[in-house]
Structure 1
Amino acid sequence: MRPIVCTGAMDAETLWLIDALENAEPVTLGCWKCVQGELDGYPVVIVRTNQGMANAAASTALAIERFAPCAVLNQGTSGGHAPDLHTGDIVIGAQVINMGAVRTPERARGAGMDPVCGEPLGLEIANTQPGDGEKKTVFAADADLVRAAAAVCWTESTVVQGTIGSGDVWNNELDRIAWLHENWGTMTEEMEAAASAQICAAYGVPFLTVRILSNTAVHGEPFDERTGEACQKFARAVMRNYRTLTD
């Protein structure tokens, strides 16, 4: 049976799941921490990607090559954008957008700059054929994975579906956060999911990201590392539901 690969950037986003594995076995995956085992009777691989888009892309590609998973579930902490969400709330990423991939308009020298004038830039999906590949500005989640996440019975906090912003950036400017939410629809932001989604699109592997708000500048709520464990518990339920849907 093909495993689900579940990724998180930090120990705070992966150790609870690793501890829950039965027959756990460390696996060499380049320079990234990786443990395979069984969770609720099914094969699962937990990968700590480390932070950032390059780490996420590389470790996701290696995990796909090594384990040929039936799906990739990215999960972990994030910073809130939506004004109606608070620390501990969860966003099911119906789609993810790379906040760092931007095309700016043409401006003459001396015409100035506008940091919020750019539009999302399409990113190429790799392929082995001659010529350029398909380009995407947003990466939609797999429908079965979304259904599995939506079916989780979660009473600890609010759960919503929406767009997750992703990139090598930590936004603290409230006007910038509001602009991203209003114009790109971002509910929260993090630093790995879009890169993993792009790699999964290239390989044709079903993908979903689920993110818990660990902090939100919108409400002045500081980072709470404990939210990482809660998101792992939610992710475990997602994987269990997905197996039920697809078996």
Structure 2
Amino acid sequence: MLGIIGAMNEEVELLLADLDTRGLDGPAQLSFPGVTLHRGRLDGVDVLVTVGGIGKVNAAMTTTYLLVSGASRVVFTGVAGGVHPQLRVGDIVVSTDCVQHDVDVTPLGYPLGEIPGETLAWPADGTLQALALEAAHEVPDVNVTGGRVVSGDVFVASPDKVRWLWETFGAACAEMEGAAVAQVCARHGVPFVVIRSVSDTADGGANVDYREFMPRVARHAKQVVRGMTRRIGAAQAEDREA
């Protein structure tokens, strides 16, 4: 079962519109406090699709619901602010790993971003990352890169903050959920990958860019996820025929 999360409705509504619910064994929706999981198939792949809400707490809670409902791998999709100097609006970042940039326990001797008892960064699953990169390269007229996704409970809209994220963490993009999803998945041994379309450059014009380009980058997110499910579905069909 593939779990698919977006923080906001705009990030998953195009996927929900394509969800095939015919012949389901059980309900098409699973309800939890504040979260609804939508069951169905995309390209023959059993999926759970949900809106996770904004911020790390919502992301961690929703990921937990997905895992207890049977998700054996997780994809987080949506938008982010570009941090890497060469990224432009519409480009796609596939996570190599995720870090929580707003964690600071340095007075106790821990590296910036590291939660005591946890690793500094949570690496994405290699197979899911490769599938996502392949699918992303099919989206026309965008640049695709693998890179570090940094997460924090703050909307970054400052050139100084962008420069700090780049120099301190080597971040490709900044958002508010991915590292929390990564932390939960890593704790449970579940493969994950985060896919982000750049909606703004996380600087002083972030607010304007985000609202203007959200519909386009949401389409990009859908194209990448569907590219992944097509590949997973084809591989499953080959296994059945073998």
Fold in common (TM above 0.5): yes
Shift in Å, 1:219: 8.3
1:234 aligns with 2:224: yes
Q: 1:87 maps to what in 2?
A: 89
Shift in Å, 1:155: 2.2
Shift in Å, 1:239: 3.1
> How many residues are paired up?
224
Query: Over the residues paired in the alignment, what is the CA RMSD in angstroms?
Result: 2.0
Q: 1:215 maps to what in 2?
A: 200
Matched to 1:51, the amino acid is: I
Cα distance change on mapping 1:121 and 1:178 into 2, 3 Å: closer
Cα distance change on mapping 1:27 and 1:165 into 2, 3 Å: same
Q: 2:80 maps to what in 1?
A: 78
CA shift digits 1:189-236 (9 cap, x unpaired): 111111111110111110100000111144846112211222122122
Shift in Å, 1:70: 2.3
CA shift digits 1:18-74 (9 cap, x unpaired): 0011117222133213211010011111011010100000111011001x2221000
Q: 1:35 maps to what in 2?
A: 38
Shift in Å, 1:241: 2.6
5+ residue gaps, structure 1:
107-117, 125-133
5+ residue gaps, structure 2:
23-27
Aligned residues with identical type, % of pairs = 29
1:176 aligns with 2:179: no
Q: 2:112 maps to what in 1?
A: 120
Provide the secondary structure at the position in 2 that maps to 1:28: strand
- For 1:208 and 1:234, how far apart are their aligned partners in 2? 12
Shift in Å, 1:105: 4.5
Normalised by the length of structure 1, the TM-score is 0.84
CA shift digits 1:153-177 (9 cap, x unpaired): 2323111000011110112221221
Structure richer in helix, relative to its length: 2
Cα distance change on mapping 1:220 and 1:207 into 2, 3 Å: same
CA shift digits 1:82-133 (9 cap, x unpaired): 1211111000001111111123348xxxxxxxxxxx9424336xxxxxxxxx
Normalised by the length of structure 2, the TM-score is 0.86
Matched to 2:54, the amino acid is: Q
Provide the secondary structure at the position in 2 that maps to 1:102: coil
Shift in Å, 1:151: 1.6
Choose the corresponding residue for 2:132, options 149, 168, 185: 149
Further displaced range: 29-38 or 48-57: 29-38
- For 1:238 and 1:123, how far apart are their aligned partners in 2? 31
